[in-house]
Structure 1
Amino acid sequence: MSTLKPIVSKIDHIQGSDNASIEIVEYGDYECPACGDAYPILKEIEETFGHQIKFVFRNFPLQKAHQFAFEAAVCAEAAGLQNKFWEMHDALYENQYRIAEGIFEELAESIDLDLEKFKLDMDSSAVKDKIEKDFESGVRSGVNGTPSFYVNQAKFDGGVADLYQMLKESSE
């Protein structure tokens, strides 16, 4: 069975309680249609289970399949340097059908980022290194497509609907 390598740390993007009993790590690609379909279900999981869930997102851009996947990940990480990773994460998925050259600055403006800093951060090696580290951790963890989920560090074999069903059953 595949396990999460490395475990979640302060360099990750985390939503939810540190004391949550369930940690969900998603390896995702902002341009992946299946990730886009998973996004509203993950939001529902977070709303339904609230403080029981700690949700983590790691970048796994499938660059051969999705032309703007890496740039979208760079966009989210650059927003993260202004403490707006999750706002950009949501904006990217909510506008997935429009992802193309030129949308990233528009989204940055829509979430009130400092555009000059954002543009500089989009070109920074630190941002690109973070994405490459996420991707490498996915490869080491056994990710073979997106979205891939890890629940309490163990690879979850199934889609987001299966994940939601399992969580509902375990909370009854």
Structure 2
Amino acid sequence: MNDERNRSSLLVPPSTQDWMQGVLSAKVVLVMYGDYQDFRSADVYKLIKGIERELSAFSGEDYLCFIFRHFPQTQIHPNAKRAAQAAEAAAAQGQFWLMHDTLFAHQQKLENGYLVEYANDLGLDIPQFLKELSKQVHVDRINEDIESGMQSGVTATPTLFINGIRYSDRYNRTRLMAALSNLAN
């Protein structure tokens, strides 16, 4: 019974340490474990962004809080962890979400040279960015996300939790929108 709960509940609650859009006091808190090299993660992220725009227009800014946690699947996506490190290095310069969006938009090009190109396009301090990547400054942060996912039964990406409960339906607009609306009431 406890194992079943671990697979259906988010065991590490959202916090201000997470990458979030919105506020933790929102009616709906949506946590996504994702992998920048996984096309399904990119598709679900695009779906969420569309739903997020729609919900904020109709229900206000405090309705949905979106949280992204890293879950690179290095066994099948060799560039995913490096991409996560690039997102974190960009975050250190205040550009997490711009790099996050760039990585999903260009997920077929996540080798080191491209990561530097994206950082340059975002106006980041390239020597600082390269230093943080080469010294793997942000690996512990990424590993914390991975560990928190594993504690909650995450084995693949994307995996979503809505208000702490694992979303297990199909990833389409209608069903996800219904789940977000139902849990808020």
Question: Is TM (by shorter chain) over 0.5?
Answer: yes
Tell me the distance in 2 between the aligned counterparts of 1:123 and 1:154: 37
Q: State the Cα distance separating 1:168 from its structure 2 match.
A: 5.2
Give ranges in structure 2 of 5+ residues lacking alignment. none
- Alpha-carbon contact 1:78-1:118 (below 8 Å) kept: yes
Q: State the Cα distance separating 1:169 from its structure 2 match.
A: 6.1
Query: Identity across aligned pairs (percent)?
Result: 34
Superposed CA RMSD in Å reads 1.8
TM-score after normalising by structure 1: 0.92
Aligned partner of 2:22 in structure 1 is 16
Tell me the distance in 2 between the aligned counterparts of 1:147 and 1:93: 13
Aligned partner of 1:166 in structure 2 is 179
1:77-88 equivalent positions in 2, closer than 5 A: 77-88=88-99
Aligned length: 172
Aligned partner of 1:148 in structure 2 is 159
Tell me the distance in 2 between the aligned counterparts of 1:156 and 1:107: 32
- Alpha-carbon contact 2:34-2:158 (below 8 Å) kept: yes
Gap change, CA 1:119 and 1:159, over 3 Å in 2? farther
> Matched residue of 1:102: which SS?
helix
Pair 1:92 & 2:98 matched: no
1:105-120 equivalent positions in 2, closer than 5 A: 105-120=116-131
Aligned partner of 2:9 in structure 1 is 3
Tell me the distance in 1 between the aligned counterparts of 2:20 and 2:176: 18
| Higher alpha-carbon deviation: 58-67 or 122-131 | 122-131
- Alpha-carbon contact 2:28-2:184 (below 8 Å) kept: no
> Matched residue of 1:97: which SS?
coil
TM-score after normalising by structure 2: 0.86
